[in-house]
Structure 1
Amino acid sequence: MTFARPDHTSDLDTLPQMPAWVTSARAETLEDVAFLSGAALNHLHLVLGCVEVPQALLRDRLALRAAEACMAFSGRPERAGELRDAVHLMRPGDLPGPAGEVYQSWRRAAGRPVTVKALGWALPAVVPAQIAAWIDAGQGALVARAATVLETVLTEAPRQEVPALILADAALAQALGWDHLVPLLAAGQKRADLRKRGDDFRLACHRAVISSAIEAVRQAADLARRAAHLKAVAPKLRAKGAGDAVEMFLTRDAVAPSALPLPDRAARRLCDRLVDLGAVHELTGRDTFRLYGV
């Protein structure tokens, strides 16, 4: 996405922090919660404008968080580890399974600029004309617009939480002038929230945005530091294709050695080297079928 870079973001230590009055406020009325959600989104907008933040990686990690929330909504047991395995350990011709499909939908939705065509690729079961109609149903500003889209989809297509939440985040991104969808609404919702309607529903959406924006800002700062370290150690890597491999780590939540543009043994050695340098982490705790991420 394209933002103007704030002048005060030349150093990682000066990435703007979410104000304490946003993170600690306990607003109860719709008016007060709407004010706080707007403040949280404005701050997130500033943080996303910092060139130090690896935006594609942040969106991919938030997509995992959104997919995990959707698993909880549907009563399924899969969490982050299982979702990563379902998608990142697939071989050509494999199917991701229901949980993997949800995770893929979120990754695809967040991975391309927001358009009806891109959303259709993320949600192949929904026809483009319906996607366009649902997004256009949004009224009001920012969160109110997203909440209208979410409520409309859930009313017309009950139990379609994944398309509803993706399209609501798309409407929010458009309202904010963002090029890409940033997964926010799903992770901040409770299962019971999705059954609410009217002001209660909008109140839940505002609260979801506040909590998710706070977490997104925290993750942005953490990933900015980690990405800076990975870039700093990259010149020490001698393997052919190491530069392309580093770029993959800077844009993906998790990477399997087999996905790297190196022979299998060289890919595993590169991952071990990056772990030794503290630039990436092994995510599974396994001795085989490992996944790595910043």
Structure 2
Amino acid sequence: MTYVRHALTDDLETLPRMPTWVTSTRAETLEDVAFLSGAALSHLHLVLGHEEVPQALLRDRLALRAAEACVAFSGRPERAGELRDTVYLLRPSDLPGPAGETYLAWRRAVERPVSIKALGRALPAFELGQIATWLDAGKGAPVTRATMALETVLREAPRADEAALILADAALAQALGWEHLVPLLAAGLKRADLRKRGDDLRLACHRALFSSAVEAVRLSADLACRAAHLKAVAPKLRAKGAGDAVEMFLTHDAVAPSALPLPDRAARRLCDRLVDLGAVRELTGRDTFRLYGV
């Protein structure tokens, strides 16, 4: 298995690496930070263009990080593990609670190509016309447009941090020509940054996008390697419905065995088999109510 992993890693060397001058340069002024954030976003743009990167899985995992940040901004204690439990173990009659709603909003925001209708699905508390106005609040370069969208929402709806960040990422995606929203801003900002305005907010957004773009490039390479390994071992799976199950792992941050298109016992055996093959990981550390992910 070690040989297989090394071979897959070698195959994925085609993914461009972030230049060291981008990650090693220290910048303080708005001009310098803007230059580095632009370089990092440009490099992420190249990486996202590679078919080896499991795009839906990457967005779903970044959505979890964004939701975790938004929950922390609101002063709630839930972190990634609890958010996963809330959403992936949710029964039809259950309510997700405030933290779960935040996570669901981010997941809905990344599921479909950016559009007013898709954003309305993620943010049902707001009218589509209001969403369209906020999304189009900014002009100019991509980060400037994202910052202006963020500032406009926070000024008009001061408690709508989650909506502001989703719409800012959506504005950024549109400006960069990305089909889908890629959650970047929330994980890189601090709570105090959301109360800034003007150049101070723009500087905070450039810093956030720089750090998040660098992390997204690293995560893209890691997920590309893991996805390639899962695809390589897939032919060894003999369970009926295994192909559809593999596709779920390639598009979702986490999967509960009960959600797989197999009988319960067969689903648990498949998950155990994939763990033995090193293709997926058990994410909870529990003996029951387990979740699995690439």
Report the TM-score when normalising by structure 1. Answer: 0.96
The answer to whether the aligner puts 1:216 opposite 2:247 as a matched pair is no
Q: Secondary structure at the match of 2:229?
A: helix
Amino acid at match of 1:195: R
CA–CA distance in 2 between the matches of 1:201 and 1:122?
25
Identity across the alignment (%): 83
Q: Provide the residue aligned with 1:292 in structure 2.
A: 292
CA–CA distance in 2 between the matches of 1:21 and 1:127?
44
Q: Provide the residue aligned with 2:191 in structure 1.
A: 191
CA–CA distance in 2 between the matches of 1:75 and 1:17?
36
The answer to whether the aligner puts 1:115 opposite 2:118 as a matched pair is no
Q: Provide the residue aligned with 2:266 in structure 1.
A: 266
Q: RMSD of the TM alignment (CA)?
A: 1.1
Q: CA deviation at 1:237?
A: 0.2
The answer to whether the aligner puts 1:68 opposite 2:42 as a matched pair is no
Amino acid at match of 2:112: R
Q: Provide the residue aligned with 1:167 in structure 2.
A: 167
- Give unpaired runs (5+ residues) of structure 2: 1-9
Amino acid at match of 1:63: A
Aligned length: 286
Q: CA deviation at 1:11?
A: 3.1
* Structure with the higher fraction of residues in helix conformation: 2
1:26-65 paired onto structure 2 within 5 Å: 26-65=26-65
Q: CA deviation at 1:29?
A: 1.1
Amino acid at match of 2:45: H
Q: CA deviation at 1:93?
A: 2.0
Q: CA deviation at 1:61?
A: 0.2
Q: CA deviation at 1:279?
A: 0.2
Amino acid at match of 1:199: D
CA–CA distance in 2 between the matches of 1:67 and 1:25?
29
1:1-294 paired onto structure 2 within 5 Å: 11-294=11-294
Q: CA deviation at 1:95?
A: 1.2
Amino acid at match of 2:29: T
Residue by residue over 1:36-78, the C-alpha shift from the partner in whole angstroms, topping out at 9 and shown as x without a partner, is 1111110000000111000000000000000011111111100
CA–CA distance in 2 between the matches of 1:142 and 1:38?
9
CA–CA distance in 2 between the matches of 1:91 and 1:262?
18
Q: CA deviation at 1:14?
A: 2.5
Q: Secondary structure at the match of 1:186?
A: helix
Q: Which moved more, 1:241-250 or 1:33-42?
A: 33-42
Amino acid at match of 1:116: I
CA–CA distance in 2 between the matches of 1:111 and 1:20?
32
CA–CA distance in 1 between the matches of 2:139 and 2:207?
19
CA–CA distance in 2 between the matches of 1:77 and 1:24?
33
CA–CA distance in 1 between the matches of 2:21 and 2:219?
19
Q: CA deviation at 1:196?
A: 0.8
Amino acid at match of 2:95: L
- Give unpaired runs (5+ residues) of structure 1: 1-9
CA–CA distance in 2 between the matches of 1:152 and 1:239?
52
Report the TM-score when normalising by structure 2. Answer: 0.96
Q: Could you list the structure 1 runs, at least 4 aligned residues long, displaced by more than 4 angstroms after superposition.
A: none
Residue by residue over 1:227-264, the C-alpha shift from the partner in whole angstroms, topping out at 9 and shown as x without a partner, is 00000000000000000000000000000000000001
